[in-house]
Amino acid sequence: MKFIIGIGNPGKAYEGTRHNAGFQVLERLGRKLDGDSGQKIKWDDDERSNAWIKIYKDVGLARPQTFVNLTGEAVAALADKNSCTPGDLLIVCDDVNLAFGKLRLRASGSAGGHHGLASIIKRLGSDDFPRLRIGVGNEKMPKDLALFVLEEFQSQEKKELKKVLEKAVLVCRAWEEEGFESAQACLSRVQSI
């Protein structure tokens, strides 16, 4: 089974923050998949992997309930429990090094300074998993990026956020349905919109 995993921090205090862009994509994707399947599937607490999950016919969605820098613990447990290889996982996360609204899809690579990705790489023992990065950076970023990613989006960004998240959902769907190359082609199409 394939899994799409959003990175974020658990709890109401972090909802709507830049660091939770991955969770926000998963919420929208879950609603879309619910609509397509004709049933509302609830998020279940998978205690073994410490993640909230939704299982559909061909894909599972997961929101680890660890803090971002410990995401690898939940991802490794989920992969082990479901016999997933790193290539069966699409990780969706924020990226302060990308301008707000820009999306970047890679088949593998370094953590690029993202502590959640670093944790996943360490726990899986591999960086050979696809990741979709959601640009959350802006020209007014402070030197303390740890505080910046825990802030909510600015008012103008909030107006554009729905469109950004919808584009990310389309890329996730393409990956789930037809694989990485299809997701890359989808990303090229949606970035030009």
Q: Which residues are catalytic?
A: 19
Do the Cβ atoms of 90 and 172 come closer than 8 Å?
yes
| CB contact set of 66 (below 8 Å; sequence gap of 6+) | 10, 50, 73, 74
Phi, psi (deg, nearest 5) at residue 101: 90, -15
CA distance 162 to 57: 26
Is the distance from CB of 94 to CB of 7 less than 8 angstroms?
A: yes
Ranges of H-type helices in the chain: 21-37, 71-81, 115-124, 145-148, 155-178, 180-191
**Residue among 141, 168, 176, 138 nearest 61 (CA):** 176
